[in-house]
Amino acid sequence: MGMQVTSWDAASADRAVAVLKAVADPSRYRLLWALSGQELPVSALAELLGAHVAATSQHLAKLRAAGLVVSRREGTRIYYRAGARVRGFLEEATLMANASMESAAGEPAASPAPAAVTQEEAARSPRAGRAARPATEH
């Protein structure tokens, strides 16, 4: 991942744990994958997740507080994108998860890293059956 960390001080540990906690939610993890390849507005991200815009905005606020996403305003819309190192972080997490599955099952895991949340995945989401609120732009 490029940079080696040699410091184990309490402040560094706290920052690292804050990043890990931010990614520890499946919706936020999926948002990061979607944003690691492109810049998107909140409304598009909510649609990809099959979630309400308000819930998606809350997830994005947590990711922004952890320094994982950045935003820019264009008129009434706010666009988000993942920071430069996020894609490598997600790929490394996926490799570690697959390695854990391999060692636990005694066989290679065959799940590739997700490229992004697709419309088809959003349709299969448990939230897909809920009535959608009107989307508001952010």
pTM for this model (two decimals): 0.68
Which domains, ranges and CATH numbers included, belong to the chain?
13-115 (1.10.10.10)
The tens digit of pLDDT for each residue in 7-34 reads 678 888 999 999 999 999 999 999 999 9
Per-residue pLDDT of the chain (138 residues; tens, 9 = 90+): 456 656 678 888 999 999 999 999 999 999 999 999 899 999 999 999 999 999 999 999 999 999 999 999 999 999 999 988 999 999 999 999 899 888 877 765 455 545 444 444 444 444 444 444 444 444
Half-sphere exposure (Cβ direction) of 28: Cα atoms closer than 13 Å: 21
User: 64 with 71: CB under 8 angstroms?
Assistant: yes
